[in-house]
Structure 1
Amino acid sequence: MPVTATFSILGDLVKNIGGEHIILNTLVGADGDAHVYQPTPADAHAVSAARLVFVNGLGFEGWLERLIKASGFEGVQVDATEGIEAIPFEKGDEHGEGGQAFEWAGVFELSPGSYKWSFAKIDGKYADPAMGMVILQADGVEAAEEKAEKLLKSSNAVARNHNDVLVAQDTAYALTFDGSRELTVFSVNIYKEGRYAFFTGHMPVEFEADEHFFKDAAGKDVEPLAQRPDTGHHGHHGHGAVDPHAWQNPENVVTYVNNIAASLIKIDPANKAAYNRNRDVYVAELKTLDASIQARINKVPESKRTVVTSHDAFGYFAKRYGLKFEAPQGMSTESEASAKDVAKLIMQIKKEAISAVFVESITDNRLMEQISRETGAKIGGTLYSDALSGPEGPASTYLDMMRHNSLVILEALSS
């Protein structure tokens, strides 16, 4: 029976429960970053052929809705996290709050040409009848943030309406959406190749219905290189502001495999006994794993339980085992850390005498290396957060990933 899982960790769980009775396709494979994944035509074909598509849910797969629609998928979508109590974002988890004039910022690599930025009605109305926007040529959000703030707070915004043209300039736009239309569209003209930072008064996904908000002249989706906050994880069509990395707690993974087994049994009742047997064996392994991790962490003094990682993917692990995780990036690898956040973290590392920081398998580690140099904290090792390693690596299965992470953390915190 052909089934699809959205990323490697979930794929491993599905494989353990489905066993020989399924033909598994995993969209984002080992060492792949689901935060920046862009579906291919081959992926759409695989999804269309699947009887079941297993997804994490909780807003993790921001690209999923468009892929499902493009594929013509007619099977059953299974949210593996259904029934899990998700951890909500704490205030401050999302960059761009705290009195800023913009709610979202994104950086795009653009070639000269004309692009379309669209705003759609959701449930018959726009999220807001108007919105401010600034477009500046800049290498990153941080480089243009101060100027964008000033422009958005000024009283000299230029009014623009449906079909009007926007360009990169030192002026804010006041965009007004046409209430008589389901979709208000603006042309964005780029005259010089480079990186451009867009600052908006609302999250783009608040105005995203059936298609991506930013497209090139050929109608192809244009994705940001970096954004604050990450729209793939929160605020996307009602997913809510929650942490999607629920697999970092083995207790939650019991719910994952229960949901996987139940969905396989429903579509393939002839193999019910096999699916239940596989689930029971795996749940026993999860409980053994959970107990062993807890025993290891219990050896670390509470005053030494602060872990610094690249991006904030370990909230469930921290809550389960009594650790504190800090990260310069937000919930997604697409999020861009601000200089203020980095400076605050460096001060905390020095104050608490944190001896080690950790890099991640799916992130650009230059920022963590900088933090290590400035604080004297060593690089404690590589953690696997959102993806498994390849078959020769230390985290080629979910169980191995959790064992590896806990051992690396324990060794660094105990030194």
Structure 2
Amino acid sequence: MYTFSNRLNWMKIILAVSLALFITGCTAEKPVSTMNQKVVITSISPLADLIRNVGGDSIQVISLVPTGSDPHTYEPTPDAVRQVSMGKLFFANGVGQEAYLEKLIANSQNKDLRTVILSDGLEILGNEGHKDNHDEEAEHHEDEAHIEGNGHDHSQGNPHLWLDVKNAQHYVESIRDALIEAYPQDQELFKANAENYLQELEALDQWIAKEIQTIPPENRNLIVYHDAWRYYTERYGLTVLRPVVRGDESEPSAKDYAQLIELIKEYKIKAIFGEVGFNTKLILQLAQETGIKMVDDLYNDTLGVTPETDSYIEIMKHNTKAIVSALE
């Protein structure tokens, strides 16, 4: 006869079995953490592409700033904190590019995360490191472009080192070495990938230099929207007279604006250059008032989404073609 006591005993048995299965299930999920050990984090999509070319399919690369977004205004989300908590390596550009990094890592409570600063060991161009042949007043305003911005801090110097392909090669070597240290079992893969990619970057560097040389010397002066192009122009023989906006992205005063127009006339500037993710209103206005060309689709802090712009090599080719076409 089935009694209440029998029912109670069966319930105890079912509960015990369920508890055992739960404990076994928790134990079975432990390998997930092993999978997550190959998660590496970085800030912006151009750096993520460099990492992927070294790590290949053996690692998962997470870029915190969405493709096409402005890293100057990026604020880490709760999801970013979760992603960082899973990572083993954080590849940071440094030089103030990731002003949020210290707080983000603290919030992630990931004590095992190692931070690799990719710009370490390279020359940082800053206020005193880049003087052009324009007048003293314009130099003063150019230097003002390095005051602290919203998303990264130009007071430490200019952070856009990767726009010089030689610097990007240094980044790749640092990425290779860090991945080998973190995952020695895959070191041969990382070495082979890095070697192949370094050769591709060497060919890119030579191609850019050759293309820029087709621009007549008198046309190699640029006005740019914001101060991102120092390393590119230093490497490849161009001159940025000054950026339109300062480091905090504030619009130029009436006096600054008048000086920009004078510079354009004095140096017979052929084009003004803006970037993806930034407002084109000011450069469009300047182009219309002075009769020069406007290029508004250069890439520096982000990749694009088309086959012509979805990798580091492709954005560097795109930028160079756009500059040469506008200045020839």
State how far apart, in whole Å, the 2-side matches of 1:47 and 1:336 are: 35
The 5-angstrom pairing of residues 9-408 of structure 1 reads: 9-74=46-111, 75-90=113-128, 92=140, 93-95=142-144, 229-230=148-149, 232-234=151-153, 241-325=156-240, 326-331=242-247, 334-390=249-305, 392=306, 394-408=308-322
SS at match of 1:35: helix
Off by >4 Å, runs of 4+ in structure 1: none
User: What is the one-letter code of the residue matched to 1:327?
Assistant: P
State how far apart, in whole Å, the 2-side matches of 1:96 and 1:88 are: 10
State the shift of 1:345 in Å: 1.2
1:233 touches 1:243 (CA, 8 Å); kept in 2?
A: no
2:280 touches 2:296 (CA, 8 Å); kept in 1?
A: no
SS at match of 1:389: coil
Identical-residue share of aligned pairs (%): 35
Distance 1:410 1:96, change over 3 A: closer
2:126 touches 2:157 (CA, 8 Å); kept in 1?
A: yes
State the shift of 1:341 in Å: 2.4
The structure with more helix, counted as a fraction of residues: 2
- 1:139-161 Cα deviation digits (max 9, x unpaired): xxxxxxxxxxxxxxxxxxxxxxx
State how far apart, in whole Å, the 2-side matches of 1:34 and 1:270 are: 34
State how far apart, in whole Å, the 2-side matches of 1:363 and 1:381 are: 9
Quote the RMSD (CA, aligned, Å).
1.9
2:219 touches 2:270 (CA, 8 Å); kept in 1?
A: no
The structure with more strand, counted as a fraction of residues: 1
State how far apart, in whole Å, the 2-side matches of 1:341 and 1:241 are: 24
User: What is the one-letter code of the residue matched to 1:315?
Assistant: R
1:17 touches 1:257 (CA, 8 Å); kept in 2?
A: yes
TM-score, structure 1 normalization: 0.64
SS at match of 1:3: strand
Distance 1:95 1:289, change over 3 A: same
State how far apart, in whole Å, the 2-side matches of 1:338 and 1:70 are: 39
User: What is the one-letter code of the residue matched to 1:38?
Assistant: E
Distance 1:96 1:23, change over 3 A: closer
SS at match of 2:309: coil
State how far apart, in whole Å, the 2-side matches of 1:339 and 1:241 are: 28
SS at match of 2:91: strand
- 1:282-335 Cα deviation digits (max 9, x unpaired): 110111001011011111122110122210100000100110123112346x44
SS at match of 1:28: coil
Distance 1:96 1:406, change over 3 A: closer
- Rg bigger for which structure? 2
State the shift of 1:72 in Å: 1.2
TM-score, structure 2 normalization: 0.80
2:71 touches 2:301 (CA, 8 Å); kept in 1?
A: yes
1:31 touches 1:361 (CA, 8 Å); kept in 2?
A: yes
